[in-house]
Amino acid sequence: MTTTPTVHRTTTVAARATELSKVYGEGETQVVALDRVTVDFPQGEFTAIMGPSGSGKSTLMHCVAGLDSFSSGSVRIGETELSTLKDKQLTQLRRDKIGFIFQAFNLLPTLTALENITLPMDIAGRKPDAAWLQKVIDMVGLSERLKHRPTELSGGQQQRVAVARALASQPEIIFGDEPTGNLDSRSGAEVLGFLRNSVRELGQTVVMVTHDPVAASYADRVIFLADGAVVDQMIQPTADRVLDRMKAFDAKGRTS
């Protein structure tokens, strides 16, 4: 039996999974999606999660982000243990401390870009920090498009709105699930650049699931999953190095 690599960092941690497992079904139909995963996501760092199809990368993100339950282990956002929270408390934590960016832009078509950006705070009855909001809007280059509705924006512009929405409430951590999956390469590069700049210039923490080595190269670190377990990590990744690592996964899958 091999030992699951444990990824620990010494800096302040924005989110942490400890011995995290997620099991579906029972008996012969049982599927282990996560197998005792331990990983830290440090504050002020851009982390990409990669792995073959079915490796558990999206399941890991969904469990750490409080979007899905887990079978055993521990998940903390800051000092808050998710397993101790009731549904209402978990909803409040996601609203107040976590930002989300998905492959689908999830914008409301009847609202302007600005109204979509501030919507989570409006629902929570909170006023945005005007200076921070302007900084975010300037960073993603939306100052001239704030009155436009989603149908009047390109796909790249809509995803910029989604990025700004995630950043606007100053969350402790942002999770992105294939955030450039519906974008062309140029728009995708712009969005990834905004995410990287939010870490470097605004001190944000970003965790992104992706299958794209080029997207992963924008991160500070890549965590690799296979068969529900962390098997490797890469610091200061390049697209070529990530691609080589993923090819090794594919080769192993073909020969196993």
The confidence score (pLDDT) of residue 217 equals 96
Q: Looking at the domain assignment, is residue 111 inside a domain?
A: yes
Name the residue type at position 59. Answer: T
Residue ranges, the chain, pLDDT below 70: 1-10, 250-256
- Please report, for the domain that includes residue 169, its CATH number: 3.40.50.300
- The side-by-side arrangement of strands in the sheet containing 229-235 is 98-102, 173-177, 206-209, 46-50, 221-226, 229-235
Residue 120: inside a domain, yes or no? yes
Is 96 inside any structural domain?
Answer: yes
CA-closest candidate to residue 77, choices 7, 6, 10, 173: 173
11 domain residue, yes or no: no
Q: Which domain holds residue 103?
A: 44-65+86-255
- Note whether residue 113 is domain-resident: yes
> What is the per-residue DSSP string for 220-235?
SEEEEEETTEEEEEEE
243 is a domain residue: yes
- pLDDT given for residue 252 in this prediction: 63
Task: Say if 16 falls within a structural domain.
Answer: no
Q: How many folded domains does the chain comprise? A: 1
**Rounded distance, CA 3 to CA 62, Å?**
24
Tell whether 35 is covered by a domain. no
| Structure confidence at residue 3 (pLDDT) | 45
Name the one residue in this structure whose structure tokens are 């409301």: 108
Residue 253 pLDDT? 53
Paired tokens of 157: 């512009």
